[in-house]
Amino acid sequence: MFNAIVSAGTLGTALDSVSVLVEECKIHLNDDGIAIRAVDPANVGMVDLTLSEAAFESYEADGGVIGVNLSRLQDIAGMASSDDLVHLELDEETRKLHISIDGLEYTLALIDPDSIRQEPDIPDLDLPATIVLEGRDIDRAVTAADMVSDHIALGVNEDDEQFYVDAEGDTDDVHFELDRDDLIDLTAGPAHSLYSLDYLKDMNKAIPSNAEVTLDLGEEFPVKFHFDIAEAEGSVTFMLAPRIQSD
Amino acid sequence: MFNAIVSAGTLGTALDSVSVLVEECKIHLNDDGIAIRAVDPANVGMVDLTLSEAAFESYEADGGVIGVNLSRLQDIAGMASSDDLVHLELDEETRKLHISIDGLEYTLALIDPDSIRQEPDIPDLDLPATIVLEGRDIDRAVTAADMVSDHIALGVNEDDEQFYVDAEGDTDDVHFELDRDDLIDLTAGPAHSLYSLDYLKDMNKAIPSNAEVTLDLGEEFPVKFHFDIAEAEGSVTFMLAPRIQSD
Amino acid sequence: MFNAIVSAGTLGTALDSVSVLVEECKIHLNDDGIAIRAVDPANVGMVDLTLSEAAFESYEADGGVIGVNLSRLQDIAGMASSDDLVHLELDEETRKLHISIDGLEYTLALIDPDSIRQEPDIPDLDLPATIVLEGRDIDRAVTAADMVSDHIALGVNEDDEQFYVDAEGDTDDVHFELDRDDLIDLTAGPAHSLYSLDYLKDMNKAIPSNAEVTLDLGEEFPVKFHFDIAEAEGSVTFMLAPRIQSD
């Protein structure tokens, strides 16, 4: 059983954060909210999303799992204005999702969850450095790095208490550093890892520029990006595996 | 003789409603305003446009006919701001149209009207159902239907006094219904017909979202869309032939 | 030695006026400001730009010359908001330009100035007619002419004291004339020359619509467009060679 009402804006934000990595996903319809975990086909980027019951106008569910095509669902949500309410109701018999927006009813065929790539176990890494910064700073770093290279180093300078971003191209380089004063918070620790810009660019698209983003970072370890959505009634965690650095 | 001044916005709106169906058309320069009738090459969609003398700042004509390339005329009108005045003057000798916009003079070669597809006779159908609704509701229905199918059913549920739209795709369906309360007006009657979405999408582009649109509908009959333009000093009627329903 | 701070908006405007003609250019780092002269590969269009010391927030230079890739520099300036300050510093040893924007450091590899096309000598023509008009009028003329032709005539009607623009296409023509009243200033004189629209369209892109532009014009002579940038602390001159008129 699943019967819920949510604003088109909240639904869209949640879907966007998953669709940057995968085309299809399983949605867990838990009794306290929905949850999605997904990993891209190359096993490099993962997303873990929760949207609690409180992010919905009304919410009833009892623990089922559905499989959806994300771009289709985004198109439907995209027809509504951000404040419009979207009514979602699962028809258990036909395994279709009925989506109503102000008189418009869309019947969405679901995908067999068993046919969707298995959900990842997102490891509980104990990373030594934690940086809290604004989404817009991630955007600046990624945009600049993309002008010179296809990979990017993220790290912490423990002595100067700085978070830094480095991208080295064939002729040009980009360096971006944020002091403790430029950051919302910093727990310095040994951290320097290289990542694929293609993935970071995709994840960056889903990070609101005014979001407070927490980065967990280590030495040649995955990076985790964590931020809240839906007025903190939901949260997104991205995890990105490092590239092996050839020195 | 033809010598008229009209706002670029009014001229553009009028041309847009014809150009969604044809590239070239005949314009009748009647003494009480201009009139255009056109049918697309496949004889499926027709348009009947009138723009009365009162829609112009000044207007003089004596019943001639000119042939024009619509996109060219749209480009010229598009160079002006919506409130700018466009002066149109026919040179009978050279068969060219002189178009002046604030110091800029464009001399447009006309097309021999005899070389343009014959104008359709738009039949005076006595259709049993009439629905009056806002342009934005047509837009919502067409946009949603386009996500699942390439055709769309329009109909009236006489018992519930509802206007409905149905689109059935291979996996997903769209259903949209508007009660008497959601409509500006409804004359219920037996009505259900299937139409090509390609044509409806084109016509929809020319329907202002705040226009009051009158639909005349029957059972496996053409649909007529009628709306006013130029502050009711002009009007547009689209007629679209039904697709044969294979049951 | 070169160490300067300038707003991203001013830097962008200056670069745009050169990049419409060439991909790479030499920048003279004079002690009173920067200067760029460039000619397109076909030797048809030239640009002469100066941006004085006063257009910068701070400026130190001692007469060197650097070679730059313009689109790369534009991309970097484009990452900043118009009011953001861009810090430029030349590393004499590595021959790289360090560009800092609010914590972001970009290291730009320079181009050997000797590998860049030689700078043109922009001739000091004594042209008989001078027209001063708004950038937006040039834009209107160029946009309209482009609808019918690939070349454009600029001229002065001495008797009527008019500046005119003519474009003749295969079927359609454009004529644009501005009286003394429509112009900011006019020095009438014998002037009529034909120019390539491709070049004029490019130059037009770099002319702000509210700029006061001075045109120097003659009979089958190059045209010069002159306008100020950076609140008159900089100036741009375009020169465009005429097309030979075949009568």
What digits encode the pLDDT tens for the residues B42-83?
Answer: 999 999 999 999 999 999 999 999 999 999 999 999 999 999
Question: Is there a contact between C97 and C91 (Cβ–Cβ < 8 Å)?
Answer: yes
Nearest to B105 among C147, C175, C182 (CB): C175
* C140, C162, C172, C180, best to mutate vs chain B, most B CBs in 10 Å: C172
pLDDT of residue A246 exceeding 70: no
Contact residues on chain A for B143, CB-CB shorter than 8 A: 79
pLDDT, tens digit, 9 for 90 and up, residues C45-55:
999 999 999 99
Mark yes or no for CB contact C178/B103 under 8 Å.
yes
* A133, A140, A165, A166, best to mutate vs chain C, most C CBs in 10 Å: A140
Alpha carbon distance B35, B66 (integer Å):
11
pLDDT band at A24 (very low <50, low <70, confident <90, very high): very high
Contact residues on chain B for A107, CB-CB shorter than 8 A: 172-175
Contact residues on chain B for C147, CB-CB shorter than 8 A: 72, 75-76, 106
Contact residues on chain A for B177, CB-CB shorter than 8 A: 103, 105
Q: Is C206 exposed, middle or buried (0-12, 13-18, 19+ CB in 10 A)?
A: buried
Residue C247: per-residue pLDDT: 53
Q: Where are the beta strands (DSSP E) in B8-161?
A: 24-30, 33-39, 45-52, 58-61, 64-69, 85-91, 96-101, 104-109, 129-134, 151-157
Question: Is there a contact between A145 and A165 (Cβ–Cβ < 8 Å)?
Answer: yes
Nearest to B79 among C144, C175, C178 (CB): C144
Q: How many Å is the Cα radius of gyration of chain C?
A: 19
pLDDT of residue A247 exceeding 60: no
Q: Chain A residues contacting B, CB < 8 Å?
A: 72, 75-76, 79, 103-109
Q: Chain B residues contacting C, CB < 8 Å?
A: 72, 75-76, 79, 103-109
Distance from CA of B32 to the nearest CA of A (A): 42
Distance from CA of C195 to the nearest CA of B (A): 19
Contact residues on chain C for B106, CB-CB shorter than 8 A: 144, 147-148, 172-174
Mark yes or no for CB contact A107/B143 under 8 Å.
no
Mark yes or no for CB contact C172/B75 under 8 Å.
no
Residue C245: per-residue pLDDT: 64
Mark yes or no for CB contact B175/A76 under 8 Å.
no
Touching B: which chains, 3+ CB pairs < 8 A?
Answer: A, C
**What is the arithmetic mean of pLDDT over A194-221?**
97
Distance from CA of C175 to the nearest CA of B (A): 5
Distances (CA, A) of C153 to C175, C207, C243: 10, 19, 10
Mark yes or no for CB contact C177/B103 under 8 Å.
yes
Alpha carbon distance B64, B61 (integer Å):
7
pLDDT, tens digit, 9 for 90 and up, residues C145-181:
999 999 999 999 999 999 999 999 999 999 999 999 9
What domains, with CATH codes, occur in chain C?
A: 2-115 (3.70.10.10), 129-240 (3.70.10.10)
Mark yes or no for CB contact C106/A144 under 8 Å.
yes
Q: Which amino acid is at C98?
A: H
Residues of chain B whose pLDDT is less than 70?
245-247
DSSP conformation class of C55? G
Nearest to C176 among B75, B105, B109 (CB): B105
Residue C142: per-residue pLDDT: 97
Question: In sequence order, which residues have a C-beta less than 8 Å from that of residue C236 and are 6 or more positions away?
Answer: C14, C17, C47, C48, C49, C206, C225, C226, C227, C228, C229
CB pairs under 8 A between A and B: 35
Touching A: which chains, 3+ CB pairs < 8 A?
Answer: B, C
Q: Which amino acid is at C39?
A: V
Write out the H or E segment, with its range, that includes residue B9.
helix B8-19
Q: Is C118 exposed, middle or buried (0-12, 13-18, 19+ CB in 10 A)?
A: exposed
Distances (CA, A) of C57 to A23, B95, C30: 49, 60, 16
Contact residues on chain B for A24, CB-CB shorter than 8 A: none
Other CB atoms closer than 10 Å to residue C125's CB: what's the count?
13
Contact residues on chain C for A143, CB-CB shorter than 8 A: 79
Contact residues on chain B for A105, CB-CB shorter than 8 A: 174-177
DSSP conformation class of C218? -
**Strand, helix or coil for residue C233:** coil
Mark yes or no for CB contact C174/B106 under 8 Å.
yes
pLDDT of residue C246 exceeding 90: no
Helix H, strand E, coil C: the string for chain A is CEEEEEEHHHHHHHHHHHHCCCCEEEEEEECCEEEEEEECCCCCEEEEEEEEHHHCCEEEECCEEEEEEHHHHHHHHHHCCCCCEEEEEEECCCCEEEEEECCEEEEEECECHHHCCCCCCCCCCCCCEEEEEEHHHHHHHHHHHHCCCCEEEEEEECCCCEEEEEEECCCCEEEEEEECCCCCEEECCCEEEEEEHHHHHHHHHCCCCCCEEEEEECECCCEEEEEEECCCCEEEEEEECCECCCC
Distances (CA, A) of C181 to B218, C177, C226: 61, 11, 20
Percent of chain C whose pLDDT exceeds 70? 99
Mark yes or no for CB contact C104/A144 under 8 Å.
yes
Mark yes or no for CB contact C107/A143 under 8 Å.
no
Residue of C nearest to A141 (CA): C104
* The token pair that represents B26 in the structure block: 């005949």
Mark yes or no for CB contact B105/C141 under 8 Å.
no
* The token pair that represents C50 in the structure block: 């100066």
DSSP conformation class of C220? S
CB burial string A69-81: b at 16+ within 10 A, e below: bbebbeebbebbe
Residue A245: per-residue pLDDT: 64
Nearest to B140 among A75, A79, A109 (CB): A79
Q: Chain C residues contacting B, CB < 8 Å?
A: 140-141, 143-144, 147-148, 171-178, 182
* C68, C79, C99, C104, best to mutate vs chain A, most A CBs in 10 Å: C104
Alpha carbon distance A196, A21 (integer Å):
13
Contact residues on chain C for B105, CB-CB shorter than 8 A: 174-177
Contact residues on chain C for A140, CB-CB shorter than 8 A: 79, 104
pLDDT, tens digit, 9 for 90 and up, residues A130-152:
999 999 999 999 999 999 999 99
Contact residues on chain C for A174, CB-CB shorter than 8 A: 104-107
**Strand, helix or coil for residue C53:** helix
pLDDT band at C70 (very low <50, low <70, confident <90, very high): very high
Question: Is there a contact between A66 and A89 (Cβ–Cβ < 8 Å)?
Answer: no
Alpha carbon distance B216, B208 (integer Å):
18
pLDDT of residue A39 exceeding 90: yes
Distance from CA of C103 to the nearest CA of A (A): 6
Distances (CA, A) of C94 to A23, A114, A176, C107: 46, 58, 20, 10
pLDDT band at C244 (very low <50, low <70, confident <90, very high): confident
pLDDT of residue A244 exceeding 80: no
Contact residues on chain A for C105, CB-CB shorter than 8 A: 174-177
